[in-house]
């Protein structure tokens, strides 16, 4: 039996394929672009073309969530965008905690794009006495030992882990014990979480290794 990752669990629970959820985000990006270009209406073939997939795939993905638009008539761009935002839970604000204000953590803290998408970093933690009590991007860095009470008080729902790999599991444990049900892990470490916690890993070095593999084999 393989390890039970958060991603596999979600698929089982909702019966929505992981790949469909990823494509919904892609549809949203395309709809944004089409809206900016002045397209009031769109069709599955247009979304499919932009993403280099089959139009039946677009219809299949959307049909999992109900009926959008009229059969054979396509979709209203803004209406479909709103519906997908609703499905992805993007029509509300999410409170986020970030743990580990090193180089990567501080860059994420300073990034304004999260707020535009409804993700607000409201609580920040570190265990370095030189950093605790200081402000970064306007937010006070708290002592990691205060994680549980602060996360509960702020009603934080998502945790971002940007500590080094050896500390990642310990931080994940603190987050889940504090009641966090969704974790975005940037540490290059495999961590395990309880069944009811959704875990998403972003290993940037792994992505670079993938590119390096591709470049190394070119012209062979």
# binding residues, ligand ATP (CB under 6 A): 18
Cα 72 to Cα 43, 45, 83, distances in angstroms: 9, 11, 19
Q: Which of 40, 128, 196, 209 touches ligand ATP by CB under 6 A?
A: 128
Q: Which of 34, 171, 172, 199 touches ligand ATP by CB under 6 A?
A: 171
> Does 98 participate in binding ligand ATP (rule CB under 6 A)?
no
Q: Which of 25, 164, 196, 208 touches ligand ATP by CB under 6 A?
A: 164
For the CB of residue 105, give the shortest distance to ligand ATP in the complex, in Å. Answer: 6
| Stretch near ligand ATP under the rule CB under 6 A, chosen from 24-32, 57-65, 95-103, 176-184 | 95-103
Q: Which of 87, 144, 183, 199 touches ligand ATP by CB under 6 A?
A: 144
Q: Which two tokens stand for residue 31?
A: 């709809």
> Does 126 participate in binding ligand ATP (rule CB under 6 A)?
yes
> Does 197 participate in binding ligand ATP (rule CB under 6 A)?
no
For the CB of residue 204, give the shortest distance to ligand ATP in the complex, in Å. Answer: 12
Residues 6+ apart with CB under 8 A from 162: 98, 99, 100, 101, 102, 104, 105, 108, 186, 187
Q: Which two tokens stand for residue 20?
A: 């469909």
> Does 209 participate in binding ligand ATP (rule CB under 6 A)?
no
> Does 133 participate in binding ligand ATP (rule CB under 6 A)?
no
Best CA proximity match to 32, nearest among 120, 121, 113, 119:
113
> Does 150 participate in binding ligand ATP (rule CB under 6 A)?
no
Cα 177 to Cα 96, 140, 148, 197, distances in angstroms: 16, 22, 8, 11
CB nearer to ligand ATP: pick between 30 and 161: 161
Cα 28 to Cα 32, 84, 95, 202, distances in angstroms: 6, 7, 21, 21
> Does 170 participate in binding ligand ATP (rule CB under 6 A)?
yes
Interface positions with ligand ATP (CB under 6 A) = 99-105, 125-128, 131, 144, 163-164, 167, 170-171
């Amino acid at each position: 039996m393989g390890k039970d990752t958060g991603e596999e669990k979600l698929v089982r629970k909702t019966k929505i394929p992981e790949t469909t959820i990823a494509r919904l985000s892609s549809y949203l990006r395309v709809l944004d672009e089409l809206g900016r270009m002045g397209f009031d209406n769109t069709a599955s073939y247009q979304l499919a073309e932009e993403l280099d997939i089959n139009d039946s795939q677009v219809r299949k993905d959307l049909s999992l969530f109900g009926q959008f638009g009229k059969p054979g008539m396509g979709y209203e761009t803004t209406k479909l965008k709103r519906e997908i935002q609703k499905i992805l839970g993007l029509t509300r604000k999410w409170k986020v905690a970030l743990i580990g204000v090193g180089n990567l953590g501080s860059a994420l803290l300073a990034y304004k794009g999260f707020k535009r998408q409804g993700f607000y970093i409201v609580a920040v933690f570190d265990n370095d006495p030189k950093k605790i009590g200081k402000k970064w991007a306007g937010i006070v860095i708290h002592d990691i030992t205060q994680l549980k009470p602060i996360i509960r008080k702020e009603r934080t729902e998502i945790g971002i882990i940007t500590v080094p790999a050896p500390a990642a599991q310990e931080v994940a444990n603190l987050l889940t014990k504090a009641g966090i049900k969704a974790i975005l892990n940037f540490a290059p470490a495999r961590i395990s979480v309880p069944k009811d916690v959704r875990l998403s890993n972003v290993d940037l070095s792994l992505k670079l290794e993938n590119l390096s593999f591709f470049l190394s084999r070119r012209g062979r």
